[in-house]
Each structure stands twice: as C-alpha cells, then as structure tokens.
Amino acid sequence: MKASKTIHNNQARIKIDFPYNQEMSAKVRQIVDARWSKTLGAWHIPCNEESQNQLIRLFPDIELPQNPIIEHCESNSVGRSNSVEKINPSIEGCENISEDRIYHSAFPLKAPQNGISRDEITITVSGKSLILKMPKNETDIQFVRTFNYVRWDNRQFSWVIPNYGKNLELLKNYFNTRISRIETRLLEQPKATPNFSTTQIITDLPKIDSENLREIGRFKEWMEHKRYSDSTVKTYIMAITTFLRFIRPKTSAEATNEDMRRFVYLYMLPRKLSFSYQNQAINAAKLFFKTIRGSILITEQLERPRSEHKLPNVLSKEEVSAILHASHNQKHSTMLSLIYACGLRRGELLNLKPEQVDSKRHLLHILNAKGKKDRVIPISDKVIGMLREYYKIYRPKTWLFEGQIAGEPYSEESLAKVLKIACLKVKIAKPVTLHWLRHSYATHLLESGTDLRYIQELLGHKSSKTTEIYTHVSEKSLQKISSPFDNL
C-alpha cells in the first residue's frame, strides 16, 4: 500500500494506492470523507493531519513519501494558515511510536542514519531477476518498459526485469550516477537431482482440507475477475488442488520449493504426465502463491521443464479429402469440412452461431477466440453452399451446430468420435485429431503460395513465430532440398 500527494477537483488530497482487496477498502471507508475516484483509479482522503493520523493507525506499514504530506498540502491550500506543526511524539495516538516509525509514517524529525531514501534508485541482482526500485518518473518508466518480459511488482513497488544478456549493463548506463546502490542477493545453491526411492512414490492423495478449499475458491474468483478463459481457470484449479493435496498435512503457507520438486518426481514422472501438465502446474503455483497465498515458496525459483519443439502433424490433401467425404451424415461432414476450410480450433467451431456467417460478404466471424481475440475468415461459395444445405435440413436454433437437444451446443467428445469413425472408414491408421485439420489447412495454404503474414491473421496467432513453424513441414519447401546421397 502506498500514499502520495495529489490535487483532485482543485482540492489537496492524499491518494491511496493498493491492489484490490475488500478488507483494505472497508478500512479506508472508516476515514472521514474517504472517496473513490474513477479518474485516479484509487481511494483518496482529505489532506489534513487528522485524516493522515487515522490512515497511519489503520495501516501502520503504508509506504509514504519522504517529504511530509501535510506540509505539501498546506502549501497548496488556498486561504489556509501555514502554522501547522510537524508531527511529534507528543501528538495524541503517537506516544508509543518510535522515532524511526514516525520517519516511516511521513513526518520525519530526522532521517535514519542508515536508512535509504525513497527517491534513490537501487538495483538488486536476484538470480534470474533484476529488481529495480526508483521514484516515479514517466521518462524512466518508458525506458524500463523497453525491456522484454518486464513486469511491475505491486507488493514490493518495484520493477522486475529478466537478468540476462546486457540488461544490467543497460540499466547501469541509463541511470548512471543516479544509482545509489547495486546489491546481489545470494540465492540458495541449486540442489542435486534428488534420488527418491520407488517406495516414496505417491499412489493416493489425501482429500483437500476446508482451509485450502476456501483459498482455491478465492483463487478461482480472482481468475474469473481477471477474465481468464474457462479452460485456463479449470486447468489451474485442477493443478493447484492436486499440488495442495500432495503436500498434506502441510498447509499452503508452509509449501516450499522442495515440495514442488517432490511433486514432479513422486507424482508427475511416475504417472508419465506430459511436459505441458508440468508447465501448467508451475504456472498455477506461481499465480496462486503470488496473488492468494504468500508462503516460503520462492516462485521465481520454480524451474520449468526444458521446452519442447514439436512439429505440427499434417495430412496430405488426399487424406483430408478422404476423411471429409467418409461420412454420409450432412452435419458430421459439414463440421469436419468447416474446420479444414477455415482452419478453426475445435472450440471455435462449436461456439459458432448462425449470425456469425456473413454470406453476402463471404466472411465468417470468429468471436472471443483464444486470447480473447476476434477475427474474420473468408469463405468461398462452396463453403456457403454447404452451410445452406446443412441449415435447410437441421434448422439450428441457438448454435450453428447443436447436439441431440435443441439449443444445446454439440459436444467436444461427440465431435472427436465423428473424426475417429471417419478415419476408420478410410483406413487411416494415424492418431488423427481435430487440430490436425487446422495444421493441414495452414500448411496447404503455405504450399499454395499464401504469404505467412496472411496465414498468421487467418489462424489468429499472436506471434509470427508460431506461424513460421509450418515452414518446417511444408512439402513444397522440403522437396526443393536434394540429399547428397542422390548425387553419388
């Protein structure tokens, strides 16, 4: 929590910044004339001695500016006396506050001899992170934002920058003599790979206790408030629930980095859980322990598995054609054909509504797809004709593709079965999934000469690097390469 001086509606006020918290907001409301401002995006209170003393009593650890707030307010107030004295231990309510406490609270009698001013710039080298603390300055902030993967830490009121390449050198060169201190925080030495015996392997997990269950509920509410997708919320809740069950009888506050290592070795590896599951468990733990529950677990030291570099699975045009024509059911063939014809994800197909098909402009509107992004995809006369034939037969009410119950969307499991049956009919033994049709769409576009930038837009990829992976499986590109063996 941090307080600062501000002018709001031509009045001197004290602005209070803190991450959203109902309990803290309720306390702030106890202060006379406390108000919420949409403009400031924060609570603010009168800039007077009484309000500030009440703020300090409610929040003893609040971070306040070096210069006394009251002096600043009085100097900016119209028609007021400048005779307000600085706070001292004789003021009511401050008798038991130490001199250092008074300095911290905003009314310094003198600066601590070994204290560090909040106007100073400090850099802490902590393993893979550089922690930068500096006074607010828009020019400096714009510079800091130029670093890749930089983030703001609300709890420590500091910038966290990855410690790699020339990042530290760039910070030194930019801030130069303004830097008051650079320190290195020694992290625990990496531990040797644990040699867990097979007798330690966890077979059954205990049930989750009520306290952890409440914390998981708060975690879910926080993610929903932040508008995480339903699939992400479900995945993270399952992962963190499994981890908290694994460490029982420990509580979440007692979780350590060693517990996460044990979770990997004694739970994930024996069950042959995937790389992505391990990565999701790390993501869930980092988010949970940063936002809901502080603990002795150091989230920055949670190590991810080595990245996988898998190539997309692609079917030939002949295989795709055979699969799309295998089913004699109009609905089944239309669903599979639309996935390939537009490069759709499974969820995007099942969430389609009839009004998203713009036949006059030959466009298909994809709404609220992965990453909360919308996009449009061109559709041909052939696709429009296929959809019209389907619509005449089934007359869907709400969703473009509905299940046996009218108004209910077609299920993911049923769609997967449709593809599996089609592959069996045409005797394709490959473990084909619906996403293979999307990969095939992108690769066949690339082979026909479509620019990568357009393919990126059609697929809804955020980064062009994601789309570039299709160059590795393009038959047209690979066939240009001649093996030296052929020249022997």
Q: Please give the share of the chain, as a percent, with pLDDT higher than 90.
A: 30
pLDDT at 68 (0 to 100): 55
Residues 155 and 208 reside in one and the same domain: no
**Cβ(157)–Cβ(61) below 8 Å:** no
Specify the residue for token string 């992505």. Answer: 276
Specify the residue for token string 């009698």. Answer: 109
Structurally, the chain folds into a number of domains equal to: 4
Residues 326 and 456 reside in one and the same domain: yes
34 band by pLDDT with thresholds 50, 70 and 90? confident
pLDDT at 434 (0 to 100): 93
What digits encode the pLDDT tens for the residues 144-179?
A: 998 988 899 887 889 999 988 889 989 998 988 888
195 band by pLDDT with thresholds 50, 70 and 90? low
Lowest mean pLDDT among 2-16, 76-90, 246-260, 365-379: 76-90
Of 84, 122, 88, the residue nearest 103 (C-alpha): 88
- Boundary-marking domain end, from 129, 164, 185: 185
Of 103, 49, 101, the residue nearest 73 (C-alpha): 49
Angle at which helix 412-425 crosses helix 330-342, to 10 degrees, equals 90
**Cβ(1)–Cβ(19) below 8 Å:** no
pLDDT at 223 (0 to 100): 92
**Cβ(159)–Cβ(131) below 8 Å:** yes
pLDDT at 192 (0 to 100): 52
End-to-end C-alpha distance for the chain, whole angstroms = 74
CA atoms within 13 A on the CB side of 474: 20
Residues 174 and 292 reside in one and the same domain: no
Of 249, 250, 259, the residue nearest 282 (C-alpha): 259
Q: Is residue 72 part of a domain?
A: yes
Whether pLDDT at 486 is above 80: no
pLDDT at 88 (0 to 100): 42
Residues 348 and 277 reside in one and the same domain: no
Residues 335 and 387 reside in one and the same domain: yes
> Domain residues for 81?
2-105
Tell me the backbone φ, ψ of residue 426, rounded to 5 degrees: -100, 10
Residues 296 and 268 reside in one and the same domain: yes
- Boundary-marking domain end, from 271, 301, 331: 301
439 band by pLDDT with thresholds 50, 70 and 90? very high
Lowest mean pLDDT among 130-134, 210-214, 361-365, 468-472: 468-472
Residues 415 and 437 reside in one and the same domain: yes
- Give the pairing type, strands 363-366 and 375-378: antiparallel
Whether pLDDT at 60 is above 60: yes
Span 105-133, mean pLDDT?
65
Lowest mean pLDDT among 28-42, 190-204, 256-270: 190-204
Whether pLDDT at 134 is above 70: yes
Whether pLDDT at 476 is above 70: no
Lowest mean pLDDT among 81-95, 185-199, 207-221: 81-95
Whether pLDDT at 194 is above 70: no
pLDDT at 11 (0 to 100): 80
Q: Which residue has the higher pLDDT, 74 or 318?
A: 318
CA atoms within 13 A on the CB side of 419: 22
Q: Which residues are catalytic?
A: 345, 370, 435, 438, 461, 470
Whether pLDDT at 355 is above 90: yes
Span 442-457, mean pLDDT?
88
Q: Is residue 488 part of a domain?
A: no
**What CATH number corresponds to the domain at position 215?**
1.10.150.130
pLDDT at 295 (0 to 100): 64
pLDDT at 96 (0 to 100): 42
Whether pLDDT at 404 is above 70: yes
Cα(111)–Cα(100) distance, integer angstroms: 8
Residues 135 and 265 reside in one and the same domain: no
Whether pLDDT at 358 is above 70: yes
**Cβ(97)–Cβ(157) below 8 Å:** no
Residues 472 and 350 reside in one and the same domain: yes
Residues 351 and 448 reside in one and the same domain: yes
Span 439-456, mean pLDDT?
89
Q: Is residue 191 part of a domain?
A: no
Whether pLDDT at 104 is above 60: no
Span 248-254, mean pLDDT?
84
Whether pLDDT at 99 is above 50: no
Neighbour-count burial for 247-256, b at 16+ CB within 10 Å, e otherwise: beeeebeebe
Q: Is residue 208 part of a domain?
A: yes
- Boundary-marking domain end, from 262, 277, 301: 301
The amino acid at residue 157 is F
**What CATH number corresponds to the domain at position 467?**
1.10.443.10
Q: Is residue 193 part of a domain?
A: no
User: What is the chain's mean pLDDT, rounded?
Assistant: 80
Lowest mean pLDDT among 97-106, 315-324, 330-339: 97-106
Span 207-228, mean pLDDT?
89
pLDDT at 482 (0 to 100): 67
